[in-house]
């Protein structure tokens, strides 16, 4: 069997091609029905240097990083996600997110183990309550793929941080007893690594709490394990609708045939879809890539929600970009794509300060004129326009 994923890809080339058709030599004898089984995908994740043989042509740096990096943060890649990679190009944007690089072994003095201070805002284990009206509910330590830019490396992939049934019940009890909580975000790890039964129990319990108005699920499964989006799972989500489901596509090459099907099925199940893209050096730090990603997401009914500046977590500084890069991308998007395709560019402040939105400065001048303040704006095309601002009634 030849590798179908060794040559450069034109935009949209994966749109109509299944990952099964692109599978590596290691999986050439696997049947289509087995490949489409999400349990099989989980059990056969690529974890060790030996596993990578027959999957990718590794560089020496990658070989060293896989061996050394796994000691700090486990390696796991689903066969599906590996099939989306260019096997010969170490700079492939999909590959860069899942295969370790030596940069993650470097620790900078400003990096933080818990950059968002989630642990210090935990009234009970597994519940982060930072904002008055919403909580993050940590439901699983497991993910199909352990992304190398993960902000929760301190606990994700670590079996000792698994959320026990007792911990989940304690989290539900806290939410029941805290009437200010109106919005609950199920997170992890990845909540969709739970069984349909357990996830259904959690969603049903949350729906029964009168003051909980919004239920959100944060998941990367549509990207890394779209086979998980089964009819049975969709029934669970449909029973609890509306579910605001935030997924995490970082590059258009992740939007293959299976991912598109998964998004359509989630829409049909009554989910409201939003995407949270993390800005990553060498992956998506160009306006053209983000524009293409956002257009393709909108086509699938998934609204670009956030562009997130990479956090100050340990071992991910090599992924970080200057804040100006994000502002440049935002300036490029405005006016060139409809408002639904323009996400918020945010920094999640270290120490639990919360999210701050950054926007390009469009004001050229602001002067007092005969009829009030005259503000001169510059639009996306570089043209300038004067706007007369009226005085406040209190002034």
> What's the pLDDT at 368?
85
User: Looking at residues 142-161, what average pLDDT do you find?
Assistant: 92
DSSP H helix total and E strand total for the chain: 13, 12
Q: Is residue 19 part of a domain?
A: no
**Dist. CA 268–CA 271, nearest whole Å:** 7
188/393 Cα distance (integer angstroms): 49
**Residues 180 and 325 occupy one common structural domain:** yes
Asked, for residue 185, whether it belongs to a domain, the answer is yes
- Do residues 90 and 165 share a domain? no
Question: Could you say which of 26, 34, 134, 198 is catalytic?
Answer: 134
**Do 158 and 101 fall within a single domain?**
no
Concerning whether 101 is annotated as a catalytic residue, the answer is: no
Looking at residue 223, its pLDDT comes to 98
pLDDT of residue 3: 38
Q: Is residue 311 annotated as part of the catalytic site, yes or no?
A: yes
Choose the catalytic residue: 23, 45, 114, 143.
Answer: 143
Q: What is the pLDDT of residue 394?
A: 60
Question: Model confidence at 319, in pLDDT bands (50, 70, 90)?
Answer: very high
Instruction: Return the pLDDT at 393.
Output: 59
Active site residue 198: no
Is 355 catalytic? The answer is yes
Q: What is the CATH number of the domain that holds 292?
A: 3.20.20.70
Helix (H, G, I), strand (E, B) or coil at 161: helix
Work out whether the CA dihedral 133, 197, 301, 305 comes out positive or negative. Answer: positive
Q: Is 131 a catalytic residue?
A: yes
Residues 195 and 238 in one domain: yes
Helix axes of 257-268 and 231-239: crossing angle, nearest 10 degrees: 30
Q: Compute the half-sphere exposure of residue 2: CA atoms within 13 Å on the CB side of its CA.
A: 3
74 is catalytic: no
| Domain end (from 78, 105, 132) | 105
Q: How many Å apart are CA 326 and CA 312, to the nearest integer?
A: 16
* 211 and 347 inside one domain: yes
Instruction: Give the SS3 label for residue 93.
Output: coil
Q: Of the listed 89, 190, 265, 311, which one is catalytic?
A: 311
Q: What is the mean pLDDT of residues 32-48?
A: 97
Q: What is the DSSP letter of 73?
A: S
Q: 381: phi > 0 → left, psi -120 to 50 → alpha, else beta; which?
A: alpha
Residues 240, 148 share a domain = yes
Q: How many domains does the chain have?
A: 3
Render pLDDT for 49-105 as a digit per residue (tens, 0 to 9). 999 988 999 999 999 999 998 888 999 999 999 999 999 899 999 999 999 999 999
Whether residue 200 sits in one domain with residue 74: no
The Cα 159–Cα 161 span in angstroms is: 5
* Predicted local distance difference test score (pLDDT) of residue 363: 86
Q: What is the pTM of this model?
A: 0.92
Q: Is 3 inside any structural domain?
A: no
Determine which one of 147, 271, 302, 310 is catalytic: 147
Mean pLDDT of 291-306: 98
In a domain, 225, yes or no: yes
Q: pLDDT at residue 346 above 80?
A: yes
208 and 294, same domain (yes or no): yes
174 and 90 in a common domain: no
Residues 379 and 309 in one domain: no
Nearest to 217, CA basis, from 195, 188, 196? 188
Which ranges constitute the DSSP H helices of 157-314? 165-176, 196-207, 221-224, 231-239, 257-268, 287-299
The three-state secondary structure class of 42 is helix
Length of the chain, in residues: 395
Question: What is the arithmetic mean of pLDDT over 371-375?
Answer: 83
204 pLDDT exceeds 60? yes
Q: Which is the catalytic residue, given 34, 47, 131, 239?
A: 131
Q: How confident is the model at residue 1 (pLDDT cuts 50, 70, 90)?
A: very low
| Residue 5 forms part of a structural domain | no
CA 218 to chain centre: 8
Average pLDDT for the chain? 92
Question: Does residue 282 register a pLDDT over 80?
Answer: yes
Does one domain contain both 295 and 317? yes
Evaluate whether residue 283 is within a structural domain. Answer: yes
Segments forming the whole domain that contains residue 233:
119-356
Is residue 134 among the annotated active site residues?
yes
Same domain? 340 vs 370: no
Average pLDDT of span 355-378: 87
* CA gap 128, 134 in Å, rounded: 9
Q: How far is CA 296 from CA 61, 260, 292, 331, 341, in A?
A: 33, 9, 6, 19, 10
Residue at which a domain ends, from 105, 136, 165: 105
- Which residue is it, tokens 């804040």? 323
On whether the CB atoms of residues 304 and 98 are closer than 8 A, the answer is no
Look up 150 and say whether it is catalytic: yes
Six-digit token string for 61? 């740096």
């Amino acid at each position: 069997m030849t590798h179908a994923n060794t040559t450069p890809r034109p935009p949209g080339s994966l749109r109509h091609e299944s990952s099964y058709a692109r599978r590596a030599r290691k999986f050439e004898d696997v049947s289509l029905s087995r490949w489409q089984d999400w349990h099989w995908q989980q059990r056969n994740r690529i974890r060790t240097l030996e596993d990578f043989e027959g999957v990718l042509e590794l560089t020496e740096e990658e070989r060293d990083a896989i061996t050394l990096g796994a000691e700090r943060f486990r390696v796991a890649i689903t066969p599906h996600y590996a099939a989306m990679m260019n096997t010969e190009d170490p700079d492939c944007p999909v590959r860069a997110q899942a295969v370790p690089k030596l940069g993650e072994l470097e620790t900078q003095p400003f990096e933080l183990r818990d950059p968002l201070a989630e642990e210090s805002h935990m009234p009970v284990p597994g519940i982060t309550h930072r904002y008055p009206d919403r909580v993050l509910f940590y439901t699983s330590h497991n993910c199909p793929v352990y992304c190398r830019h993960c902000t929760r490396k301190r606990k994700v992939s670590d079996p000792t941080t698994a959320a026990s049934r007792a911990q989940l019940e304690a989290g539900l009890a806290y939410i029941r007893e805290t009437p200010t909580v109106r919005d609950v975000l199920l997170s992890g790890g990845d909540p969709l690594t739970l069984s349909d039964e357990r996830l259904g129990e959690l969603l049903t319990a949350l729906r029964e709490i009168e003051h909980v108005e919004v239920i959100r699920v944060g998941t990367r499964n549509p990207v890394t394990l779209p086979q998980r989006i089964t009819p049975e799972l969709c029934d669970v989500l449909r029973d609890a609708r509306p579910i605001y489901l935030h997924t995490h596509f970082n590059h258009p090459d992740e939007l293959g045939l299976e991912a598109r099907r998964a998004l359509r099925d989630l829409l049909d199940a009554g989910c409201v879809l939003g995407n949270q893209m993390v800005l990553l050096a060498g992956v998506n730090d160009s306006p053209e890539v983000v524009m293409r990603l956002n257009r393709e997401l909108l086509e699938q009914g998934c609204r670009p929600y956030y562009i997130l500046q990479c956090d100050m977590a340990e071992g991910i500084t090599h992924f970080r970009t200057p804040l100006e890069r994000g502002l440049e991308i935002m300036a490029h998007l405005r006016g060139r794509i409809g408002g639904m395709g323009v996400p918020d560019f945010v920094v999640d402040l270290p120490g639990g300060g919360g999210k701050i939105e950054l926007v390009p400065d469009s004001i050229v001048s602001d002067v007092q004129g005969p009829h009030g303040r005259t503000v001169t704006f510059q639009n996306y095309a570089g043209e300038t326009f004067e706007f007369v601002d009226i005085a406040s009634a209190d002034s």
